[in-house]
Amino acid sequence: MTSGDPALIELLRAEIREHGPVPFAGFMEQALYHPEHGYYSSGRAAIGRRGDYFTNVSVGPIFGQLLAAQFAEIWQRLGQIGNFAIVEQGAHHGDFARDVLAWARERFPKFFAALRYQIVEPFPILQDRQSEAMADFRDKVEWTTSLTPFTGVHFSNELLDALPINLLGKRVGLADDEFVFVEIPDDPETKANQSALDWIDAVAANLRRGFVIMIDYGHTRSRFRHSLQVRAQHRHLDSPFEQIGRADITMHVNWTDIAQRAEANGLGIAGFADQLRFLTGILSTYPQLLPSDSLDSTALSSQVSRAGEQKIARELQTLLHPEMLGRAFQVVALSKDIGGSQQLCGFKFARDPRAALELTQHRWQQSL
C-alpha cells in the first residue's frame, strides 16, 4: 500500500528503523515539507482544476477582490496609516496576492498607495513562482522566510489545515516495510496540536496593531473530530501512506483551541462566521464591488460582459453555496490594540464570536 516519492519513503523508513515509531506530525512534516522531496517544498503541489484540489483562491479572482475590500476597511479602522502591511502566509503561487493588489489599485487607490504586501514564504521554489505572479507589483511586495513585526492584517487561506498535526495515541511505524499506524494509548508526545499553537504564538508576538484573518475548514471543540484528508488529482486517498510526497495531507482545524491560545496571548476575538456569512457581509457593505456591468441591465446586450457576469456568478456560487464552500469553510478574526468597535463588515451577520467559539468563560475567569 505504501507508495509515493521513493527517496522520501526510504528516508522515512530509515528514521523509523533507527528511532522506532514516530508521532504523526513528524511524518506529515516530512511528507509535505522535506526540503527536497516534500509535496509543497519541492514545488510539486498543484492547486486548481488541473491540480490535486480546489481552494477559495483557485475558484477565481473574486475571492481576492472581496478580501481586498475587507482589508481596505481595516486600513480605515487603523486610521488610514501609511505603511499598512498585508502579511500573507501560505501564498502558494501568489494568485491571491495578485488579485488583492490588482483590485486595490483599481478600486481603492488611496489604500493601494498606503499598503505594502509581505509574503512569508520559507520555500525558494514557491518564492520564485510568487515573484512571477507579482511581476506587475514588484515595488509593493517583499518576502521573508518567517514572521517579522507588522501593523496591518495577517491573512491565511488553508494554512492551518496544512500544519503538521499529531493523532492522539497513534504513531507511524513499520510492518514488513509498509507504513502502519501503531496504537500507543496515553502517549504524551501525540497529544498536542503543537504547530498550530506555536504559529498563533508567533503571530501574536509579531502583530503590533491590527487584525489576523484565518480561513479554513474546521470545527469548534464540541464537534471536533480528528479527520485526516489525503488528496491527489481530485481524489480522496484512503491513507496518508499512499502517494507520500505527491499528495496533500490536511486536518480539520480545532477553532476553539486556536481562539483560546490567541486570547492567552492577549489577542481579541474579533469575529467567527462561516464563509457564506462572511463574504455576504462584505458584499452587502460594498455592493459596488460587483462589476458595474452586472448591475446594469442595458449592458446585457454585450456578449462579452454577459460571459464575464456568468463567470462571476459561477465563482460566487461556488464560494457562497452552503453545499459547496459556503459552510465548509469558516473565518476567524483576531485583533490587537485597535480600540473602539472591533466589528468588521465580514462579521455583520455573525453571532457573538466568543459564544460561537465555545469560549464560555470570560478572560478574567480563565486566569483564576
Ligand X SMILES: C[S@@+](CC[C@H](N)C(=O)[O-])C[C@H]1O[C@@H](n2cnc3c(N)ncnc32)[C@H](O)[C@@H]1O
Residues that bind ligand X (CB under 6 A): 40, 47, 55-58, 89-90, 92, 120-122, 157-159, 162
Tell me the closest approach of the beta carbon of residue 201 to ligand X, in angstroms: 13
φ, ψ of residue 73 to 5 degrees: the values are -65, -40
Q: Which of 122, 169 has the CB closer to ligand X?
A: 122
Tell me the closest approach of the beta carbon of residue 124 to ligand X, in angstroms: 12
Give the residue nearest to ligand X (CB): 90
Considering all CA atoms of the chain, what is the largest pairwise distance in Å, rounded to the nearest integer? 72
Tell me the closest approach of the beta carbon of residue 221 to ligand X, in angstroms: 23
Q: Which of 39, 137 has the CB closer to ligand X?
A: 39
Given a contact cutoff of 8 angstroms between Cβ atoms, the answer to whether 157 and 215 are in contact is yes
Cα distance between residue 16 and residue 21, in whole Å: 5
> Burial, 36: exposed, middle or buried (Cβ in 10 Å; 0-12, 13-18, 19+)?
exposed
Tell me the closest approach of the beta carbon of residue 344 to ligand X, in angstroms: 20
Tell me the closest approach of the beta carbon of residue 90 to ligand X, in angstroms: 3
Tell me the closest approach of the beta carbon of residue 163 to ligand X, in angstroms: 6
Q: Which of 100, 356 has the CB closer to ligand X?
A: 100
C-alpha cell at 76: 480605515
Given a contact cutoff of 8 angstroms between Cβ atoms, the answer to whether 52 and 231 are in contact is yes
Q: Which of 31, 78 has the CB closer to ligand X?
A: 31
Q: What residues are paired with 253 via a beta bridge?
A: 218
> Burial, 123: exposed, middle or buried (Cβ in 10 Å; 0-12, 13-18, 19+)?
middle
Q: Which of 325, 359 has the CB closer to ligand X?
A: 325
Q: Which of 47, 174 has the CB closer to ligand X?
A: 47
Cβ neighbours of residue 226 closer than 8 Å, sequence gap 6 or more: 165, 167, 168, 251, 252
Nearest-CA neighbor of 4 among 248, 251, 250?
A: 248
Cα distance between residue 298 and residue 232, in whole Å: 44
Tell me the closest approach of the beta carbon of residue 89 to ligand X, in angstroms: 4
Cα distance between residue 244 and residue 247, in whole Å: 6
Q: Which of 40, 211 has the CB closer to ligand X?
A: 40
Neighbouring C-beta atoms of residue 224, cutoff 10 Å: 16
